[in-house]
A and B are shown apart, each in its own frame.
Chain A
Amino acid sequence: MTEEPRVGVFVCHCGMNIASTVDVKKVVEYARTLPNVADAKEYVFMCSAPGQDLIKEDVKKCNLNRVVVAACSPGMHEATFRASIVEAGLNPYLLEMANIREQCSWVQLDKQKATEVAKDLIRMAVAKARLLEPLEELRVGVEPTSLVLGGGVAGLRASLDLAERGYKLHLVEKLPTLGGKAARLGKLAHVDIRGADLVGSLTRAAASNSNIRIHVNSELVDLEGSVGTFKAKIRTAPRFVDEKCTLCGECFRVCPIEVPNEYEFGVSKRKAIYLPFKEAYPPIPVIDPEACTRCGECVKVCEPGAVFLDQKGTEVDVAAGAITLATGFEPYEPPEGEYGYKRSEKVLTLFQLERLLDEDGPTGGELKLGGSTPRSLAFIMCVGSLGTTEKAHPYCSRMCCASSLKNMLRIKDRYPETEIYAIYKDIRTYGRGDEELYEKTAERLVKYVRFEESPKVNLHSDKVDIEVYDTTLQEDLLIPVDAVVLAVGMSPSADMDKVRAIVKTGCSPEGFIREAHLKLRPVEAPADGIFLAGSVTSPKNIVESVMAGGASAAKVATLFANKEVRIEPIIAEATEEICSGCAICIAMCPYGAITRKEKGEKMVAKVDKALCKACGTCVAACPSGAMQQSGFKDIQVMAQVAALTERRGG
């Protein structure tokens, strides 16, 4: 910056708000004595039209090239005064404000002392203003196409809400079918429909919406760029069966391979060539490449010739302005032996129970364990939640209580004689209608046993014993039952870390994805352009997941509607002539905005302007001073500091 700074200082009375405790005259006189101050003026309301005109005229008259306004908090009128100096032909970032109302006149009583504070604040502002530089606001055009990862309820809701607003999007699902976990639940609480049907209505809508391009059996494998201009690489695994398939079912019959059916949470088996479930979308079978031996039986029996064992996977690059993460959760998987899990068919998880109670499930809704229907059942609650065991998560998984209660009632409906124990640490029926479920179970004589020390499950050939200290009765109980249901909670989805690594976003202490702000920005990731739906951020029930999906769609739509993102130019930048590529800054950035790029054979840090959010943490860490933040450069802040007293600031 070659030109000699000519600073104009404009002190506002704000009616009496400032003038009553700050001697404005004195302050203005003092301001005139400061180095590089070309002129200082006062006015009763600087923000008023005449006040702003005063500034504009003065900028021209005294050809000022820096402006200090001493008035209210920048939060109030920085924009106003920036606009007025722009009209006067100056760059908006050549303005510095001294907050002498909120942080001075309003909080001080003694006029003399308040006046001293005002003088100091103005001296410091002038010191910084001298070194201000013109900055150009950055704008990035936004590609109005979205990328939604995860085809569960949250992802589907997010996709539909966006598509219905007229935006195009890619819906990417890792599994061969849409629907997520909800599609594998039986009858849902409060509404008398099965999970598969609930999800089915969404998948059908998505499938028939021309704005939505569905990629099942697919994963995001690479991501470049930033908000507005992401470039995503989507890899689709081979399905080995194409749409010519008529679902005659011959191939299932002849396939010699049987493996546990993950869509039934392992309570039944499926073949190597299979249709995940009746309502699966797309309604095309798929071959499990791990299980398949390539024996070719299916090819032989396939009339339409829809099976291709040598099919290859495909990769496609898509441009996206925003990304919504709806990659869901995993049911908590108890370690073998925990509460007898996997040691006996009499011990099953809540999700497995859902399958057994589903009319379309393997048993047609019959509750049969090893051929017989249990006459007594114990639900152990909070399995994998509330820190009940060493491996358990510290948090509450929110959905397991209501879901357990619902299932208890289903069992009571179907097998009224069944004796049911609810062994719980805490019952949290916070959702609408859930409390009624709780009361109904009481009416239906479900026996509640509360524990602090998690119960012990002893397996016997004919029955299961549960040892537990009941904190209500305050005595040890031995409860013999025929079967045990483990009300397992929710864990972060298995490939969460893989996804996070690709989209470069942080995780919460629980291992879910961290929100930009827990309360105020719950469906946004810290990095711009990354949105969050469903249980990627924390355990959620279906209602909450759907809400989050809709909310995230609204956020994406807002971004798209603006057509471009404006970036405050107070971002960080590394001076290549000084940067040695020491890499200290990279770990400082919560947004992954800094990378080391080879320049010639040497390395230097490079900041992605669109990713930088201007916190300046990398600048404070930069050991060489190569990294600087526009508007908050070391020399600018140091000048402000040096002006603390007149010793050096004068």
Chain B
Amino acid sequence: MKEIVINPITRLEGHGKIVLVLDDAGNCKKGYLQVPEIRGFEKFAEGRHAEDMPQITSRICGVCPFAHHMASTKALDDLFKVEPPTAAKKVREVAYNIFMLEDHALHVYFLGGPDFIVGPTAPKAERNILGVIAKVGKEVGLKVITMRKKLRKTNEMIAGRTIHPVLGLPGGVSRPISSGEAQEIKKLADESLDFALFTLKTFKDIVLSKKEYVDLITSDAYTHRTYYMGLVDEKNKVNFYDGKIRVVSPSGKEFARFDVHDYPENVSEHVEPWTYVKFPFLKKVGWKGFVDGEDSGIMSVAPLARLNASDGMATPQAQEAYEEMFKTLGGKPVHHTLANHWARTIEMIYAAERFKELANDPEITNPNTRNLPTAVPRVGIGVVEAPRGTLIHQYETDDRGVIKKANLLVATQHNSARMALSVDKAARSLIKGGKIDDGMLNMVEMAFRAYDPCHGCGTHTLPGSMPFMIYVYGENGALIETVKRNLP
């Protein structure tokens, strides 16, 4: 028996380390995705001022700080029992949709996208943003870079900073948007929508036009029948900022629809001794190990899951794209992990359209953006849809608003079980007869890069493919061979 360790040394403290176990025939019999990192935010949150949590928890991730900032801020509204003024809610949602758009764009063009846009078989050196530029043209490439820069600058204007924002306070936001700023925002909103639509078009032209890609997307290696979870509005349309949590079964039936306050009755976390990450699952179905299907509580979140868990998009052009996707991929729910890329571009359109609606809403310049809390704090729960899925913050405090206990259900974590499945399945279906080649390994890697996992963003690599170092060990644990993947 052999053991293969794939160590994505893009970050030594882990964020995904793969161990493949081969039987004597050299077929992969098990693949493990390990997360060997823990930073303990839940612990050191204790003793801190509750109102500081939006800024403290944003430090969990510098790529999606807005997600934690916003979930935390909403938890504070709930904790201090204070309703923000409508203007404040809209300001938050503007910033949040700008963020979703910009973060998705990062993934589509810089991270996951290159696999398709440049092509999985293309030379590694090209499988990055530069490759993308080469493929789609320089002006397009610059368009992407400048678009992203504009979006981030705008969020800096609204939220003080774009990495680790300071906007959120219980009962509102720290500053209103001036009418001057609103003008710029309007302009940007129009550009953003064009950009999002352009992105979908590019994705279609380059990916969906090629049969082999579509086959790849729909291939069994990348398919799991799991539950899907996401936030929906009262019409069961996708919403990033607020709503009820909806869960649909592998067969697409509504399994649960609950307020975030009821999450403890619906979600539990399973612990494995070989990884620091916990595995959330549907409490009412139960933990049945790393298997999919109706009887396994394993669920999935993030773009595809959100689309599966909803009845559509709240904006017209996103809705159109939504219908097209499900039509093409054979109806709801879609179980193909790689369809996340497509779903992501659809969500970009929604984010842009929603952004535009809000940008044209005169309310966003209303100077009244704060209500001061008066209630004695006790417990507060907040939820948002992070780019990488449903994100929940819960705080319990003393009368002075000092955190006694904190619980954070991080988006990527909700996917961790399904990701483990994906890696295991991909490895088992791809690695046979002890033959390991680079292409296979990229396939294995694609299996979980599609989730855009963010265990501290370990897989965000510009080259668009994660460099691997592979060690093949013999039964006795002796190193037999090492394979390097795209090292200079």
In their complex, do chains A and B touch, with some C-beta pair under 8 Å?
no
